[in-house]
């Protein structure tokens, strides 16, 4: 399975900025999901995935991000990549 759909699923579930919850279109985080997908591989660890997510969201939204925010989503992405 391609990486993007897995990443998109978990990024959308995380809804980091709360945009989907207030009615944003379903493709709201697609750019961020694509950027994350381009930087991870099936060999990436959950910590590496969380750091990539942190970097992508910090750049996209211009806010200081904490890697802890992304740990659960990163673990779920890792698990789905290995099913």
Residue 41, helix vs strand vs coil: coil
39 closest CA partner among 47, 31, 29, 48: 48
Domains and CATH numbers, the chain: 3-81 (1.10.340)
Q: Measure the N-to-C terminal CA separation of the chain; round to a whole number of Å.
A: 10
Q: How far is it, in rounded angstroms, from Cα 2 to Cα 72?
A: 20
> What is the reported pTM?
0.94
pLDDT digits (tens, 9 = 90+) for 1-53: 799 999 999 999 999 999 999 999 999 999 999 999 999 999 999 999 999 99
């Amino acid at each position: 399975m391609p990486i993007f759909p897995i990443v998109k699923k978990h990024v959308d579930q995380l809804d980091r900025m709360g945009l989907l919850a207030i009615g944003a279109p379903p493709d709201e985080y697609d750019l961020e999901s694509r950027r994350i997908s381009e930087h991870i591989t099936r060999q990436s660890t959950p910590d590496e995935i969380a750091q990539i997510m942190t970097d992508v969201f910090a750049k996209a939204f211009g806010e200081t991000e904490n890697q802890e925010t992304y740990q659960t989503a990163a673990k779920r992405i890792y698990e789905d990549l290995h099913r």
